[in-house]
Structure 1
Amino acid sequence: MTFFDLERPEHAYMFAFLQADGHLAQGVGNKGRLTVELSARDAPILEEFQRLCPFYSSIRYRTRSTNFGAEHTSATSTVSAREFREELRELGLPVGRKSEVVAPPTVPFSQRDYLRGLIDADGSVGRTSQDLPFVSLTTKSDALAAFAVDYAERLCGARRKLTRNKRDDIYNILFLNEAGVALAGDLYYPGCLALPRKLLGAGRARIWVRPPTMKFAPPRRSWTPEEDEVLRTAASMERASEQLSRTLKSCEIRRWRLVGPERPRVLPRQR
């Protein structure tokens, strides 16, 4: 018997959430369990998972001192059924540490519901402190980061260069303004399964309209290896600017980043 049909929206969402926030442990023999621990305020999503899962699961609460507060209450869902755990592994939920190796399923799946599950577990959606709409995802996985960026580009043309931050060596992918509005509206559609607080944040994000006084900055063109070679070999930046249809200033800055500042030529001393 198979449980997950990842072309069903609620199953795709649930599987993505488990990939991000679930922990699959393997015990001796056939023993093992899947656990998901969330803040108590997010317990309703665990109750939805309990309703969707055909196997017995428990939800327990505990209050303890954590980084979130002196008296933080969490809710933990546990499923031990072997059949359930085996299917999760086959679909791509590794046992133990998984943050860097987890990847989208290789079977057909509902992509927008899957991405919403990732964002609910490891991302955020809403308005910034400057009241700008945004959707973000934090991940260590190359495959998940590439999937999110590719989805956004196909949806609304938002291009992002994948770069890990230097402090944590993780991807912090952020979509602002019109890209944030488009993603929030597409992922958090009426009747979808989602964390209630993320659903509220998405509602605030998707109704944003750019103020008339706010200038629109077109997306930056990425530099290609071919363009970099033109800059390295060009006789002058003016000629490179014309050839590449880029501003002289952008060519000069890119050239400086590629080869460093131009050094004056020193002629040999005459004797």
Structure 2
Amino acid sequence: MAEREPSAHQFTLDDALGFDTPAASFMDLEVPDYAYMFGFLQADGHLQQGPGQKGRLTVEINVRDIEILRAFQRLTPYNSTISERTRDTNFSEAHHSATWSLCSLEARTRINQLGLPYGRKSKKIAPPRVEFSRRDYLRGVIDADGSVGYTSQGFPFISLTTASTAVGVYLCRYARMLTGAERLIKRNTRDEIYNISYEKEPAMQLAADLYYPGCLSLERKQMKAEALASWVRPAGMKVSPKRRWKEWEDQILLDLCSPTAAAEALGRTVQSCNLRHWRLRNGQVPLPSTKQ
């Protein structure tokens, strides 16, 4: 494996060109930029614990996105570095990457307490338990582990690949409230990862909400999100009407205790009944009055 020595630039507050971030407000997740930064760190960051109080937070990404690391540097009132390296990987020869590194114990402790575990964390991460800016947090997660653009058929889409049940469920809940689109997440059999995707109008609505003008984001994904707004549904392409669940339908679904049988009885799809049954059993929607 070929590798060149990394180059690094030491960052201090004097380098911030007047940008002043008090340590007391560092990672206040009600601030949109910090909510975004935390979502990105949860998805693409790594907290490594060393002997004693030593340790390091690192984020390594393709060098094309180095500007987001510089933004993280400006937002962080502690010394940090950005380095670059070129190496051969299983996916690319001469892969050029950039890494942001932060060693401060105070900063690491704050980020860890908010919900970024040390070591392997892909299945452990979850939305913060403190007040936070929801759409900015989700945009950070999607910038790190998601995709935005057009499908091969020319339809707008926005997607997220995650191993975290909590993050996957949160995105589905947020998107349902915003767009009405229902998703029932399920790990794929190959690598037990959730692949959550929205297309057409729901994708346009979600992208417009998450990637609003002036937000902190990866520039290339911001541009793709903005490009989705130009899509127009082709003439003749039908829109499936949304059918609301009624209390008596919930009652039948619970009585039959079989999404397949309920689908036949109610004239709905098995997928729709399966999703509704899961929501009823897990308290995602209220039970019919006779079951409470």
Structure 1: distance between partners of 2:46 and 2:257: 49
Per-residue deviation, residues 24-62 of structure 1 (Å, max 9, x unmatched): 011001100100000011111001111111111111111
Instruction: Report the counterpart of residue 171 of structure 2 in structure 1.
Output: 148
Instruction: Report the counterpart of residue 159 of structure 1 in structure 2.
Output: 182
Shift of residue 67, structure 1, vs aligned partner: 3.0
Per-residue deviation, residues 159-181 of structure 1 (Å, max 9, x unmatched): 10111111111100000111100
Secondary structure of the residue that 2:47 maps to in structure 1?
strand
Shift of residue 79, structure 1, vs aligned partner: 0.4
* Structure 2 unmatched runs, 5+: 1-23, 274-292
Q: For the structure 1 residues 116 and 230, does the alpha-carbon distance in structure 2 shift closer, same or farther, using more than 3 Å as the test? A: same
Shift of residue 213, structure 1, vs aligned partner: 2.4
Secondary structure of the residue that 2:183 maps to in structure 1?
coil
Q: Does 2:45 correspond to 1:29? A: no
Q: Does 2:64 correspond to 1:38? A: no
Instruction: Report the counterpart of residue 141 of structure 2 in structure 1.
Output: 118
After the TM superposition, which residues 77-226 of structure 1 pair with which residues of structure 2 at under 5 Å, given as runs? Answer: 77-218=100-241, 226=252
Per-residue deviation, residues 193-237 of structure 1 (Å, max 9, x unmatched): 0001111110122321211122223458899694275487xxxx8
Letter in 2 for 1:161: L
TM-score by length of structure 2 reads 0.78
Instruction: Report the counterpart of residue 227 of structure 1 in structure 2.
Output: 253
Structure 1: distance between partners of 2:112 and 2:252: 42
Which stretch shows the higher mean deviation, 62-71 or 102-111?
62-71
Instruction: Report the counterpart of residue 267 of structure 2 in structure 1.
Output: 246
Letter in 1 for 2:267: R
Q: For the structure 1 residues 87 and 2, does the alpha-carbon distance in structure 2 shift closer, same or farther, using more than 3 Å as the test? A: farther
Per-residue deviation, residues 121-173 of structure 1 (Å, max 9, x unmatched): 00011111111001101111110001000000010111101111111111000
After the TM superposition, which residues 57-68 of structure 1 pair with which residues of structure 2 at under 5 Å, given as runs? Answer: 57-68=80-91
Shift of residue 87, structure 1, vs aligned partner: 0.1
Letter in 2 for 1:246: G
Secondary structure of the residue that 2:239 maps to in structure 1?
coil
Structure 2: distance between partners of 1:65 and 1:240: 52
Q: Does 2:31 correspond to 1:8? A: yes
Letter in 2 for 1:147: Y
Query: Which is higher, the Rg of structure 1 or of structure 2?
Result: 1
Letter in 2 for 1:9: P
Instruction: Report the counterpart of residue 268 of structure 1 in structure 2.
Output: none
User: Quick one: percent identity of the two aligned structures?
Assistant: 53
Shift of residue 246, structure 1, vs aligned partner: 1.1
Secondary structure of the residue that 2:60 maps to in structure 1?
strand
Letter in 2 for 1:8: V
Secondary structure of the residue that 1:172 maps to in structure 2?
strand
Contact 1:126 1:134 in 2 (8 A): yes
Letter in 2 for 1:70: E
Structure 2: distance between partners of 1:195 and 1:225: 46
- RMSD over equivalenced CA pairs, Å: 2.3
* Structure 1 unmatched runs, 5+: 255-271
Letter in 2 for 1:114: Y
Shift of residue 191, structure 1, vs aligned partner: 0.1
TM-score by length of structure 1 reads 0.83
Letter in 2 for 1:227: L
Q: For the structure 1 residues 211 and 54, does the alpha-carbon distance in structure 2 shift closer, same or farther, using more than 3 Å as the test? A: same
Secondary structure of the residue that 1:144 maps to in structure 2?
helix
Structure 1: distance between partners of 2:67 and 2:184: 35
